[in-house]
Structure 1
Amino acid sequence: MAVLVPFPGGILLLLLPAACLQAGNSGRSNRERPLEVQQPTHLSGVQGDSIEIPFSFYFPWELAKDPQMRILWRWKAFHGEFIYNSSSGFIHEHFKDRLILNWTQPQTSGVLRILGLKEKDQTVYFCRVHLNTKDGIQEWLSTDGTQLTITRAVSTTMQSSSIVTSAVTTAQLEDTEGQKNPSFVNMGAMVGVAVATAVLITPVCVLMIFLWWKKR
């Protein structure tokens, strides 16, 4: 690119090195890069299962020779308690043995996995990024975070109870359908008693008649 510079008696044409122009554009481009942490606004999981919260981050600075990148997580509020620190290995007591961060430096994206979801895990989670740049130490986090909703799993005990209740009800219905009319049952019983009585009384009557005849 050429620049026209006026001077007494004429105009001087100067050629600027292309490297200077590229350096200027590069610096402006870096400053225009967004500074943010991206997370899904809402996720839902089932109690007892696991869930993954993906994240990615962007920044305008040039990293230092040793960037010392760290990923931290807060919960419940923007300035809530820390639940995870990638550099120290800190894990909140509530999440003991239940947090796994799938991320390695210098990646700018990763996943936080929560195992064995509990009812109290239902809250908002915020990812925070910390790193060293040529402009100094920088740290920032997601402003909205991820709202995690926990739903209860269907109890197997309740399912078993429902199955047993249904089976008993079906059996009762089948048994009721197989029974005869109570009036017919009672009549049959009465007839049976009468027949049995007649069978027992008849020999006695015959014997009495025989003895009476013999006396005659």
Structure 2
Amino acid sequence: MALLVSLPGENQAMFWILFLLLPTLCLQAGNSAGSNRGNTFGVNQPARLSGVQGESIEIPFSFYFPWELAKDPQMRILWRWKHFHGELIYNSSSGFIHEHFKDRLILNWTQPQTSGVLRILDLKEQDQTVYFCRVHLKTKRKFMEIMQSIHGSNITVTHAVSTTMQSPSIITSAVTTAGLEDTEGQRNPSLVNIGATVGGVVATAVLITPVYVMLIFLWWKKRPAD
């Protein structure tokens, strides 16, 4: 109270005005904050995804809103690429698909679901860019509300790792060729051993045969005459 008395008249009046308006200002600020929380809407997508060239990739998305939907919400999911206002590549209501993605886009979503997945098949190097999901829906306010992901999903396409393997026929051919080259350069030890064995048997037979013939002849000569 002493502080009020010590202030000049104009300052006192200004202080009382601010003092009386303070509860009203605080109430308005609280209502504004609550209103912003209640009226939030948007589209969620992963910031970054990576896929392999020639394979498929899935971009999950979800959206949220505070409005009450119309009896027929007429929901539509659209997709853009490259930048926020980029070219349209997909429209769920008309079935439109960009020529570049012909037969390569599949949307896994059904009205009135608030989440889904866009699948890109047979990834190409040119598919490496940013993709934005856009949602259209009708509310009971009879307005067609539109919302879109701000940052989108940045897709990176990597090259497939090539695993080069020789077919069994090629490997067999290589082994056979190597075997032939080996026999040309030097004799195979197993073949040499077999040759030596056969040679020894033949030599032994040649030496023993005359002896047996001689013995048979002498026996026949000495046998008693009938």
> Is structure 2 residue 68 aligned with structure 1 residue 62?
yes
CA distance in 1, matches of 2:36, 2:49: 32
- What amino acid maps onto 2:105 in structure 1? L
Q: CA deviation at 1:34?
A: 2.4
Report the count of equivalent residues: 153
- What amino acid maps onto 2:79 in structure 1? W
Partner of 1:47: 53
CA deviations over 1:190-213 (Å, ceiling 9, x no partner): xxxxxxxxxxxxxxxxxxxxxxxx
TM-score, normalising length from structure 1?
Answer: 0.60
Q: Is the 8 A contact 1:31 1:60 kept in 2?
A: no
Write 1 or 2 for the structure with the bigger share of helix.
Answer: 2
CA distance in 2, matches of 1:134, 1:108: 17
Write 1 or 2 for the structure with the bigger share of strand.
Answer: 1
CA distance in 2, matches of 1:29, 1:116: 45
Q: 2:150 aligns with which of 143, 146, 171?
A: 143
> Is structure 2 residue 180 aligned with structure 1 residue 153?
no
- What amino acid maps onto 2:148 in structure 1? L
CA distance in 2, matches of 1:76, 1:160: 41
Q: CA deviation at 1:70?
A: 0.2
- The 4+ residue runs of structure 1 with deviation greater than 6 A are 28-31
Q: How does 1:73-88 map to 2 (within 5 A)?
A: 73-88=79-94
- What amino acid maps onto 2:102 in structure 1? K
Partner of 2:119: 113
Q: 2:97 aligns with which of 78, 91, 95?
A: 91
- Structure 2: state its 5+ residue gaps: 1-33, 187-226
SS of corresponding position for 1:143 = coil
CA distance in 2, matches of 1:149, 1:159: 28
CA deviations over 1:170-208 (Å, ceiling 9, x no partner): x99xx89xx89xxxxxxxxxxxxxxxxxxxxxxxxxxxx
Structure with the greater alpha carbon radius of gyration: 2
Q: How does 1:126-137 map to 2 (within 5 A)?
A: 126-135=132-141, 136-137=143-144
